[in-house]
């Protein structure tokens, strides 16, 4: 129970710290000043409107890698696509918050947009940089493969013996390159290219 409480406390502090960075309340240069960070957190915590969110993406990627290693490609694609959609949703939602878009509208926007749109023209609409076209195409293709698998319809007239094999070849190196680019895109646009510094500061608190 004690370990669980410590983990919960660290998750809360981590969420607070990330929110403060995103809101511009902490400079990147201050992340190495442990005592200063703790003092600012204590001062600002009562006044901050912060939702505590646990980031499951590291576990999602581990699950995706495991399924790929087992040649369970459809399940691997399912989890990789979840990672990509969670990541771009995070970037978009923070941008919409900064634009003072209401929570209700933010939810409706995310629900209404396709994954291709989230990685495409909508980024320009909210003032975000264009996503690399090559990686956008890869993620869109993975999403289409995911949808084919998730919404599979049994047809007794078709001898389908390859339900675990995507229709197009899926290269792990290509997916890993997309993952790396997605992480860099998020870091650049939410944490000024210093997300690793934020994560390090959270670990050291």
Report residue 49's pLDDT band, with 50, 70 and 90 as the boundaries: low
* % the chain with pLDDT above 90: 46
Q: What is the DSSP string of 140-196?
A: HHHHHHHHHHHT----TTS----TTS-SS---HHHHHHHHHHHHHHHHHHHSTT-HH
* % the chain with pLDDT above 70: 70
pLDDT at 161 over 70: no
pTM of the model: 0.73
pLDDT at 23 over 80: no
Of 32-41, 97-106, 122-131, the one with minimum mean pLDDT is 32-41
110-139 pLDDT, tens digit each: 999 999 999 999 999 999 999 999 999 999
Q: What is the pLDDT of residue 162?
A: 47
Q: Distance between CA atoms of 183 and 195, rounded to whole angstroms?
A: 9
144-159 pLDDT, tens digit each: 999 888 876 555 554 4
Strand, coil or helix: 25: coil
Q: What is the pLDDT of residue 164?
A: 59
Of 55, 42, 48, whose CA–CA distance to 22 is shortest?
48
Report residue 18's pLDDT band, with 50, 70 and 90 as the boundaries: confident
């Amino acid at each position: 129970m004690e370990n669980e409480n410590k983990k919960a406390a660290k998750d809360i502090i981590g969420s607070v710290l990330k929110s403060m960075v995103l809101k511009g309340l902490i400079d990147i240069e201050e992340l190495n000043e442990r005592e200063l960070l703790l003092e600012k957190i204590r001062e600002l915590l009562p006044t901050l409107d912060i939702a505590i969110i646990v980031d499951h993406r590291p576990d999602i990627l581990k699950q995706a890698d495991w399924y790929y290693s087992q040649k369970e490609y459809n399940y691997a694609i399912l989890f990789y696509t979840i990672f990509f959609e969670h990541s771009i949703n995070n970037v978009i939602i923070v941008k919409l918050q900064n634009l003072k878009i209401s929570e209700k509208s933010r939810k409706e926007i995310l629900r209404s947009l396709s994954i291709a749109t989230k990685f495409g023209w909508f980024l320009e609409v909210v003032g975000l940089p264009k996503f690399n076209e090559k990686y956008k195409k890869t993620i869109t293709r993975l999403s289409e493969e995911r949808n084919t698998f998730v919404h599979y319809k049994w047809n007794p007239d078709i001898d389908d013996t390859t339900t675990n094999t995507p229709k197009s070849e899926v290269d792990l190196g290509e997916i890993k390159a997309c993952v790396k680019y997605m992480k860099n895109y998020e870091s650049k646009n939410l944490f000024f290219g210093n997300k690793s510094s934020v994560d390090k500061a959270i670990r050291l608190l």
